[in-house]
Structure 1
Amino acid sequence: MSDPQIGRRALLRGAGGLAALAAVPSLAACGTGTSRASSGSAKGGGKSVVVRDSGGAYGQTLQKAIYTPFTQETGINVEVTNLQGTQMLAQIKQGRPQFDLINNSMKELVKYANQDGLEKLDRDRIKSLTSAQIPDSQITEYAVAHSFYAQCMAYRTDAFGGKKPETWADFWDTQAFKGSRSMCNPDADLPELEFALLADGVPMDKLYPLDVDRAFKVLSRLRSDIKKFWDSGPLPGVLLSRQEVTMSTIWHGRIADLTKQNVPVAAQLNGARRQFSGFSIPKGAAHVDTAYQLLDYSLRPEVQAAVAKAYPSNPSSPVAYDKLTKEERNALAGAPQYYDKGFDADINWWIKNEAAVSKRWLEWARG
C-alpha cells in the first residue's frame, strides 16, 4: 500500500471480509515482500518472529522504529508479511498460520476473535502494559491497542471572515459557515453517522447505540451542500486546496501534509472519532514466545513515541506523549489537550451494523 495513510480502508477491513476461506499458498509464494532485519547480537540464538502488518509507508516506519531496534536488542530476526484478512484466517483455520503476531485494526481483530482465530493474551507476559499505562478500554482478552487515528473536521481558515467552526453543528450550518462540504464514502471509512448525531445535539457519551434513522435525517439536511464524497485519504486535502469545499471530514494525520503545502487549513478536534489498531497472536502460532517479546517491546512508551515521530499515528500509551517534543505532541490528535474532545468508535456496534448501514448509505447518497 503506497498511500501515506496506509490505505486506511484496507487497514480497517483487512481483506474486506472473513467468509472466503480458500486455501492459501506459502508466504513466499504470496508475494508478500517478506523482509528480515539484521541479526544484531547473538542474544536471540537464531530465533525469529513473523509479524503481519499492512506494509507501505507505515510498514517502513515500523521497520525503522520497531523491528530493526528490536533485533539489535534481542538478536531475534523479524520477518514481515502483508497477508490480508481472508488469507490469514484461512491459514489459522488450517492450523498452520505462517505469522506469529498480527498488527491490524482492533475492529478486524475482534472479528478474528469471534471466528476463534486468536490466542487469549497472557497479560503477565506483557510487562509494557504497566509501564505504558495502556488504558483498560484499549485491551481485550485477545488484543491490545498500540495506536489510533482520528477522523475530524478540516476547514479553510480564510473562508469565514475570521470565524472558526467549533462543533459539528457548525459543519451543518451553511448559513454561518458558507460553502460546500465533503464527507467520506464507506469505501474510505465507516459512514459518519456519529457526526450527524452530534450536530443534532446528541451528547458524545450517549451516541451508542446509534440512532440510524435520526442520523440519516440529519445527513439529508446537508445532502445538497455535499459536493463530493471522498473515497481516498488525499481527496479532502485536494478539495480544500482547490477551494472546491470550505469544510470536509478528514483523517487528522492529513492536516500536516496540507500545512506543509501552505494550504490555509486547520483541524477542529471537537467530536473527533477515534479508531484503534492493535496486536494479537493467532491460534497455532509457531513462535509464541518471540511474538510476546515483540509485542511487549512495541508497546514500550519510547517505542510508541519513535513511531509517532516518523508517522502520523497516535500512541495508545499516555506516557509516550511525554517523550515527544511539544511541537510533535501538539500535532497529534492524541495530545492531552485534545483527547477528551473526541470519542472512541464502538467497534462492536459497527461490526454488527456496518453492512446494513453502508447499504443504506449508498442508497441515500444516490437518492
Structure 2
Amino acid sequence: MSRASAKARTWTSAGRWPICGSCTNTNQETSMRRQAGTLTSLLGVALLGLAVGTLLVAPPGAVGQDKGKVVVQIGGGDWADANFEAYVAPFEKETGIKVVAVRDWMSIAKLKLMVESKKVELDVADIPRLHYLSAVKANYLEKIDYGVYSKAELSKIDDLSKQAYGVGAAYFSYVMAFDKRPTTWAEFWDAKKFPGPRTLRAGVYGTGAYEEALLADGVPMDKLYPMDVDRAFKSLDKIRPHVTTWWKEGAEGQQLFADKVVTLGDVFNGRIGNLQKKGMPLDIEWNQGKLQLDYWVIPKGAPNPQNAQKFIEFATRAKRQGAFSELIPYGPTNVAAFEYVKPETAKQLPTYPANLKKQFHRNEDWYAETGPGGKSNLELIIERWNRWTVQ
C-alpha cells in the first residue's frame, strides 16, 4: 500500500510516469501503468472488505443507526436530578436511544386528559400507587412486557412492584422532620410541648395528612382503615393554627426547611435526607411513618411504546436503583439494589428493615374504592379538603 502511494505522488501533470534509468521505453511505461491499475483495484477491494467487516462487528449504535427516542417524565427537584443521573444519562449511553426528560409531575387529571383526547406526548410517567389504581380502572395504561426482563433481575423485584400495568420505581415515606424531637404524631400535634412553625401536606391531590391526624387522635396504625374522615378533619382543626404552610410538591416542603421557615414538618424522607447531606441540623423520626410506592407506567397510546418498555426495564435493574438511592435516599423496589448501596446510605432508606418495621403502608385500595354515589374515596376526600380550606 505504501509503494502504491509513493507512485501516485510521482505521477506528473502530463499524465505519465517520469523517465528514469530503468524505464526508458514504451513497453516499460505500459507495464508500470498496468501494475498501478492492479494495485489500485486491490486497494479498493481491501477497503471495501474493511468497511463490511466494521459493519458486521460494530456494537449497536456505533455506526450511527437512529434508535429513536423515548419521552420520560422524571418529576422535579432532587427527585428529577436523581432520575436523570441514575437512569436517563446511562440509558442513552447504553442503548443509543435519545431520552427527552420532562421535569414535571403526573396527576391522574393530566393522564386522563392526554389519553381521552388521544394527544399522548409522554412515553413513560412516574405516578404513585394511588393514581396507578385509578388509571388501571380507567384503562389509561399500556401493559408491561415482562418478556424483556432478565429472569435474575425480575426475581429480585418485590411482588407489589410487579403489576400488570406498572413496575415499582421507588418507595418513599412521609416522616416527621424537625430540629426538636417528637416521636409520635400525638407529640407533633402538641404545640405547647413542641413549639415552632409547622408544615403538613395539602390535600389537593388527595394525599393530605389524614392518617397522621388520626394517629395524633389516638387511632392505632393497624386501625386506620376504613378511614374515619370526620375524625381526621376534626383532628386537623386542632393543628391548623400552628401550620405555617400546607405544601403541595416535595420540593416545596424541602425548601421550607432549607429556608428555616418551619422547624417541624411532615415531609418526604428523601428531601430531608438530601438536606442532611448538605449539613442542615435536621432529624427524621421513622415511627408512624407513612410508606408509599411510585410506579413507572406507559400511558395508553404512547408514541414510542417499545422504547418505553426498554427504559422501564433499565430503570428497575438492581445496579441502577442502587445508584438512584445513593443520589436521593428512597427505597429500591429491586431488593438486590442493596448490594450497590453503601451501609450508611441503607440506614437512611424507608425500606431498611429497622425503619420499615416502624411504619405502615398507606392503604391505596381504600382510596380507590367507589362509594354509592359513584365517586371514589379519593375524589370525596379531595372535595372535603377543598371545602375545609375555605371554612
- Please name the residue that 1:136 is paired with: 159
CA shift, 1:234, in A, is 5.6
Instruction: Report whether the alignment pairs 1:254 with 2:234.
Output: no
Q: 1: CA distance between counterparts of 2:75 and 2:243?
A: 33
Q: Please give the secondary structure, in 1, of the residue aligned with 2:127.
A: strand
Greater helix proportion: 2
Query: Does residue 104 of the first structure (1) align with residue 127 of the second (2)?
Result: yes
User: Relative to structure 1, is the Cα distance of residues 334 and 189 closer, same or farther in structure 2, using a 3 angstrom cutoff?
Assistant: farther
Q: Which AA in structure 2 matches 1:51?
A: V
Q: Does 1:192 align with 2:214?
A: no
Match of 2:70 among 50, 58, 61: 50
- 2:149 maps to which residue? 126
Give the deviation of 1:76 after TM superposition.
3.2
Are 1:340 and 2:357 counterparts? yes
User: Larger deviation: 92-101 or 299-308?
Assistant: 92-101
**Contact between 1:40 and 1:71, CA under 8 Å: does it hold in 2?**
no
CA distance in 1 between counterparts of 2:125 and 2:67 reads 18
2:89 to 63, 68, 72: 68
Whether the 8 Å CA contact 1:298–1:304 is kept in 2: the answer is: yes
CA shift, 1:89, in A, is 4.5
Mind listing any 5+ residue stretches in structure 1 that lack a counterpart? 1-38, 158-163
Tell me which residue corresponds to 2:378. 354
Q: Does the 8 Å contact 1:185/1:230 carry over to 2?
A: yes
Name the structure 1 match of 2:232: 215
AA in 2 matched with 1:314: G
Q: CA deviation at 1:194?
A: 0.3
**SS in structure 2 at match of 1:314:** coil
- The SS at the match of 1:253 is helix
Q: Give the distance between the partners of 2:98 and 2:253, measured in 1 at CA.
A: 40
* Deviation for aligned residue 1:347: 2.6
Let me know the Cα RMSD of the aligned residues: 3.4
The percentage of aligned residue pairs carrying the same residue is 29
TM-score if structure 1 supplies the norm length?
A: 0.73
1:278 to partner: Cα distance: 1.4
Cα distance between partner residues in 2 of 1:222 and 1:146? 33
TM-score by length of 2: 0.70
Structure with bigger gyration radius: 2
The count of residues paired between Structure 1 and Structure 2 equals 323
Q: Is the 8 A contact 1:40 1:73 kept in 2?
A: no
- For structure 2, the 5+ residue unaligned runs are 1-58, 369-375
Report the alpha carbon displacement of residue 52 of structure 1 after superposing the two structures with TM: 2.6
**In 2: Cα distance, 1:74 partner to 1:170 partner:** 51
CA contact (8 A) 2:73 2:126 kept: yes
Deviation at 1:95, TM superposition (A): 5.4
Q: Distance in 2 between matches of 1:137 and 1:297?
A: 18
Contact 2:61–2:67 at 8 Å: present in 1 too? Answer: no
Q: Secondary structure at the match of 1:315?
A: coil
